[in-house]
Structure 1
Amino acid sequence: MARNEQLIRQHKLLQLMEISRFGRTLDELRDDLVADLGLTKLHSRTVRRDLEALQAAGFAIQSEVVDRGRVYKIGQFNQNAVHEVGVSATEMIALAIGRELLHPLIGTQYWRGIETFWNKLQETVPDGVYDHYQRYRKTLHVFGSPAKSYEEHAGTLKTINRAIVEHRVVEIEYASVGNPVRQRRLEPYGLAVYQGSIYVVAVESGIPNPDNQTTGQRLRNWKLDRFQSAVALSEYFAPDESVDISKHLSKSIGIFSGENPTSVKIRLGKRAAAWVREDPWHPEQRLEPRGDGAALLTVPASHPREVLPKVLSLGLDAEVLGPAEFREAVAVAVKEMHRLYQDDGESSDDSAGT
């Protein structure tokens, strides 16, 4: 059998034993391998050799005799060292993937924690376990994360984090896109990572509230990239204990989350409907068939700018039906794009440089 097939089989063996609290017999492991890997046949002797090879590599595979026969399961690497964490190759792969997805945090205190923990794991696990991890890790590649880092914002992030824990008001200089720098005072409740960017979930302090909005309704997500400075003041605020940040962030398809999102209806053609089925926009979306593969999508959104890029990416295969504010936002964008593309691109570029 080819080496990569043996590697896949042994990795599946480890997974089967990791999820089995009471262990599995050789025959049970063989049957599970045949079913999970789509094999036509597999001898118990092959499974035994794989187990012996994994034990020789340093995996803490234990066996004991029970009523149904001898069972095999994963044990701890060092059961006497209560402060050590036993980690499997499968768990190392999961951690490695998560680490790569969090690359935008490089330079922050969070990344330093990730790196020190990762380094400890690599030093702790037996060489055979680490070698198995390295070989199997090559089967999965992670890419597409934003090419950015918050290293320059490490000091600001520390200040915000301390203010969240201590419930302190933060004075910031904030530069929204296209607007001058403004001084703001925030009551920060938490941090959120969305599509590789960090946001501070906060209420703006000292702003009148004539409509008597709740704290949840007044929460806004402030992008850390736009912070020019941040100072934790000697001024404290009483946090609203009813605020649920996770709930606040889950109510919309984008980062413009709010207490009362709008249900947006979008007509999708056959191809667009298929794409949205493959990659849903939101856990609570509804996709109603309309014949010939088309569908009506209903999805929560708190701001037209959340819907705009998604709809435009689908071209003529998507149409916002309502509410009017969201439909108008797309219409205005399409009109402006039409005006832009009426001119010859090269001549427009030449005139821009003169």
Structure 2
Amino acid sequence: MARNEQLIRQHKLLQLLELSRFGRTLEELRGDLVADLGLTKLHERTVRRDLEALQAAGFDIQSETVQRGRVFKLGQNTTDVHEIGISATELIALSIGRELLYPLMGTQYWRGIETFWNKVQEAVPNGVFDHYARYRAALHVFGSPSKSYERQEGMLKTINRAILEHRLVEIEYESIGKPVSTRKIEPYGLAVYQSSIYIVAAVPGTTTTDQAENRQRLRNWKLDRFHHATLLDEYFKPDPQIDLSKYLGSSIGIFSGDSTTLVKIRLGKRSAAYLREDPWHPEQSLEDLGDDQTMLTVPAAHPREILPKVLSLGADAEVIEPAEFRETVAESVREMVAHYT
């Protein structure tokens, strides 16, 4: 664990030095590390040893004495390593990706995106950038909700560290319609879905030999509902059978999991055309029933994720099975009719 903590500190040191144009003193670096990594204690001697280890690894970390003391900063040889060649098309693709990640604004991820974007702009020749600017003016990205996680930056840092070190986190969490409650979670990873950040975590408990049952302990916790997150000095052993890519990709929405249900939805001609253009899931299937009717079969983990999609198609879509999913939509429709009668 100590080795892992050392690597995290050294990686953060490089980030701090990259962001510092005029260098940082040992005391300043120590203070930044304590704040950013949520440490309870850290000696300046440890910071000095980390700097020496980075220098021994080949990083050009220089020091000089200025009015406020001895400062450390990255030399020119370090920045030269990151120089890259990039085309106008690649620059356009990168800028689109940057705009799609606006919900991360204010977090450490966004600072990384911005510093890299600034480096790219400084590195490309003027001709390439002018070509990019002309074409980029004709392409617009919109439709993402205006959202920022700047207020939750500290909690994100805590959760990131817990993921890397396999440590438990105590959270104050407020589910919609319920009072704030204190929980312990075992965080496995983060997920960004429709401009919201979710923490994929398990509730601590006695594991069993049933792999599927262990994976069912996973849940997606929405960061917007966190009031506080505290890193605990308790560790958990990650389940090697948990595959986050499989877990998150199994369903059409954020209600992910290993247990999904195949839902059959009868579509009219227009809705079927929409679903061919914009599929709900890569594993969906569309079967022609004749008479301008099509049967959509799509995996889903929860009736609530099917509901808004079906309602958006109006009377041109009807859930056929399973019964639980059909009744969820039917109940919503009955309530809507009552409101509009």
Using the size of structure 2 for normalisation, the TM-score is 0.74
Match of 2:116 in 1: 117
Match of 1:341 in 2: 340
Match of 1:320 in 2: 319
Distance 1:177 1:211, change over 3 A: farther
Q: Distance in 2 between matches of 1:178 and 1:83?
A: 49
Match of 1:231 in 2: 230
Unaligned runs of 5+ in 2: 1-79
Match of 1:9 in 2: none
Q: Sequence identity, in percent?
A: 69
Q: Deviation per CA, 1:209-262, whole angstroms, max 9, x where unpaired?
A: 898853322211111111111001000000011211011001000000011100
8 Å CA contact 2:170–2:184 kept in 1: the answer is yes
Q: How does 1:104-183 map to 2 (within 5 A)?
A: 104-183=103-182
Indicate the SS of the match to 1:258: coil
Q: Distance in 2 between matches of 1:147 and 1:93?
A: 22
What amino acid sits opposite 1:215 in the alignment? N
Q: Deviation per CA, 1:69-124, whole angstroms, max 9, x where unpaired?
A: xxxxxxxxxxxx65411111111100000000000000011000000000001111
- When Rg is computed on C-alpha atoms for both structures, the one with the higher figure is 1
Match of 1:99 in 2: 98
Match of 1:310 in 2: 309
Q: Distance in 2 between matches of 1:275 and 1:124?
A: 42
Unaligned runs of 5+ in 1: 1-80, 343-354
Indicate the SS of the match to 1:134: helix
Indicate the SS of the match to 2:202: strand
8 Å CA contact 1:172–1:227 kept in 2: the answer is yes
Indicate the SS of the match to 2:216: helix
8 Å CA contact 1:273–1:293 kept in 2: the answer is no
8 Å CA contact 1:169–1:232 kept in 2: the answer is yes
Q: How does 1:47-58 map to 2 (within 5 A)?
A: none
Match of 1:248 in 2: 247
Is 1:196 matched up with 2:195?
Answer: yes
Using the size of structure 1 for normalisation, the TM-score is 0.72
Q: Deviation per CA, 1:178-217, whole angstroms, max 9, x where unpaired?
A: 1111111100000000111100001012479898853322
Is 1:215 matched up with 2:214?
Answer: yes
Q: Distance in 1 between matches of 2:169 and 2:287?
A: 46
Q: Distance in 1 between matches of 2:157 and 2:180?
A: 21
Match of 1:61 in 2: none
Q: Distance in 2 between matches of 1:207 and 1:325?
A: 30
Q: Distance in 1 between matches of 2:206 and 2:145?
A: 34
Q: Distance in 1 between matches of 2:203 and 2:195?
A: 24
8 Å CA contact 1:185–1:206 kept in 2: the answer is no
Q: Deviation per CA, 1:122-150, whole angstroms, max 9, x where unpaired?
A: 11111111111100111211000111111
Q: Distance in 2 between matches of 1:166 and 1:89?
A: 40
8 Å CA contact 2:208–2:214 kept in 1: the answer is no
Q: Distance in 1 between matches of 2:215 and 2:146?
A: 32
Q: Distance in 2 between matches of 1:288 and 1:304?
A: 22
Q: Distance in 1 between matches of 2:85 and 2:271?
A: 45
8 Å CA contact 2:212–2:258 kept in 1: the answer is no
What amino acid sits opposite 2:322 in the alignment? P
Indicate the SS of the match to 1:148: coil
Q: Distance in 1 between matches of 2:282 and 2:211?
A: 30
8 Å CA contact 2:201–2:218 kept in 1: the answer is yes
Distance 1:201 1:180, change over 3 A: same
8 Å CA contact 1:251–1:259 kept in 2: the answer is yes
What amino acid sits opposite 1:155 in the alignment? G
Q: Distance in 1 between matches of 2:214 and 2:189?
A: 13
Q: How does 1:74-89 map to 2 (within 5 A)?
A: 83-89=82-88
Distance 1:84 1:136, change over 3 A: same
Q: Deviation per CA, 1:151-180, whole angstroms, max 9, x where unpaired?
A: 111011111110000000010011111111
Match of 1:52 in 2: none
Match of 1:205 in 2: 204
Distance 1:210 1:183, change over 3 A: farther
Q: CA RMSD in A?
A: 1.6
What amino acid sits opposite 1:269 in the alignment? G
Q: Distance in 2 between matches of 1:237 and 1:280?
A: 38
What amino acid sits opposite 2:225 in the alignment? R
Q: Count matched residues.
A: 262
Q: Deviation per CA, 1:277-317, whole angstroms, max 9, x where unpaired?
A: 11100000010011233210000000000000000011100
